[in-house]
Structures are given as C-alpha cells and as structure tokens.
Structure 1
Amino acid sequence: VPYAHSDDCQLVINWIIAKIGLDCWRKRTAWFQQANLLRRAADFYEEKEFE
C-alpha cells in the first residue's frame, strides 16, 4: 500500500461507507455517540459518589 495522502484516505473512507451502506454507518455512529454519552454519565456519577 503506497503512502496514503489525505485525499486517498477520504476516497477509501467514502468507498467503505458506500460498501457498508450509509444507513448502517449512521446507526454505528449513533451507537458510538450513545456509548460515549453513557460512559461520560457513568464517570460523572462515579465522581459524585467519591466526593
């Protein structure tokens, strides 16, 4: 694999998104965002308990 310039990376990312399907990609991104929110909430509650 040759050294990837940002344009090449974007093309690959676009190809992957197209292959996976945009709907699936959106669900996955939404799931990651939700997981991050839940993790942050859990961290917040744990910090509160230790105060």
Structure 2
Amino acid sequence: MQNNYDSNVVWKAADLALSCTKQVPEQRPSMTDVVAQLQECLKFEEGCGTM
C-alpha cells in the first residue's frame, strides 16, 4: 500500500474480508452488504463521510 490510509478504514475492510470467509454461509455478509460497506470505506477515505 503506497498511500496513507486511515487505520480505522483499513481495519473495517480487513474485518469485512474476514467475515466473508466464515464457514457457515448464513454468517457471511451478502454481496449487497459487502458493496455498501466498501462504499462507506471509500467515502470516508475521500472525506465525504464519517465512520
């Protein structure tokens, strides 16, 4: 990673990625949730939102 990123955003993205690897499918987030959470991370990084 070449740029400086907010550590909270990095942790949120990492936590999201880990939740996608759960063995029980019902415990994994839907793709809609994944996209929404990643968009939230992007907005925060762009300075347009808060987490």
TM-score interval for Structure 1 and Structure 2 normalised by the shorter chain: 0.3 to 0.5
The structure where helix makes up a greater share of residues is 1
Q: TM-score, normalised by structure 1?
A: 0.39
